[in-house]
Amino acid sequence: MKRWFPRVILLLAGVLPLAAPAQTLERIRSSHTLNLGYLPERPPFSASEAEVAVGYGIDLCQKVADQLRTLPGLAQMQVRFVPLDADKALEAVQAGGVDLLCSPMAETLKLRQRLDFSLPVYTAGLGVVVRKDAPFFLVRSLNGEVDQSGPTWRATLNRGLAAYTFAVPGNTRVETWVREKLRLLKVLATVQAVAGPAEGLEAVAAGKADAFFYDQMTLRSLVERSPGKANLMVLSRRFEFAPVALAMPRGDGDFRLQVDTALSELYRSDAFLPLYSRYFGAPSELDQNLFKVYSRP
């Protein structure tokens, strides 16, 4: 008995930390409050207007709250939105300071060591921003609307992309990708390295660059907050794909199931198309098909 007792203690010590987070629903029942974190500077995904949380991610979290209110003991549950600093948001989620982070982020294996994630809520990836008065052939080529057949395609592609200046964040994977693509396509264009996304956006707005390549989610947020947003547009095309999701404390399958149930039911409902379109415009056929894949029966 004495010999086994220390082993039992060690086993419990290893199990209890994993079991502790799996009390989210009980904590919500006890407090009658769902705590939702968000980043106020991430429009159109999450923002703060007159101290009220708004955005695509906020609307999705409201749908999660509606789903939770159908559970026993949660009909009168209140929702509390908690603004978070970007550099402390993940720690707040991991520590259970909030039950769900309404500002979507890319799920990585490294982050999954610390957090759990919902079903994807948006398909981000490498995107591009241009001015609304950008040349027709440039926009068409960047959108991938050039007929890819024989010499005609090559000539049309060069007509659409050659002699333009493309801004990219210097010494990054994005710069490498853009330079390699132009090399493979034999397009003679200027690639201008900039210090960061704000500088890249400013270069396009000021006419110093014709397009700026960067993470599409960040581009949307930057344009939304830019004084010159009326003259800028983020193209719908994604050159690489990166689904993003809502983060939550790790190890609570019951709570995650409720989050994914709410999202799946929304994706399959008539309410999703107008909700998505309100923030991003009408979804493409590809986007609609992706959300069918993301949802669960």
What is the DSSP secondary-structure string of 182-208? Answer: HHHHT---EEEEESSHHHHHHHHHTTS
Answer yes or no: is pLDDT of 153 > 50: no
pLDDT band at 170 (very low <50, low <70, confident <90, very high): very high
CA 235 to CA 257: how far, in whole Å? 34
Strand partners, 212: 129, 167
pLDDT of 166: 97
CA 249 to CA 268: how far, in whole Å? 26
Mean pLDDT of 111-130: 96
Q: What is the CA radius of gyration of the chain?
A: 23
CA 85 to CA 132: how far, in whole Å? 32
Helix, strand, coil percentages for the chain (3-state, nearest 5) = 45, 25, 30
CA 280 to CA 111: how far, in whole Å? 27
pLDDT of 6: 46
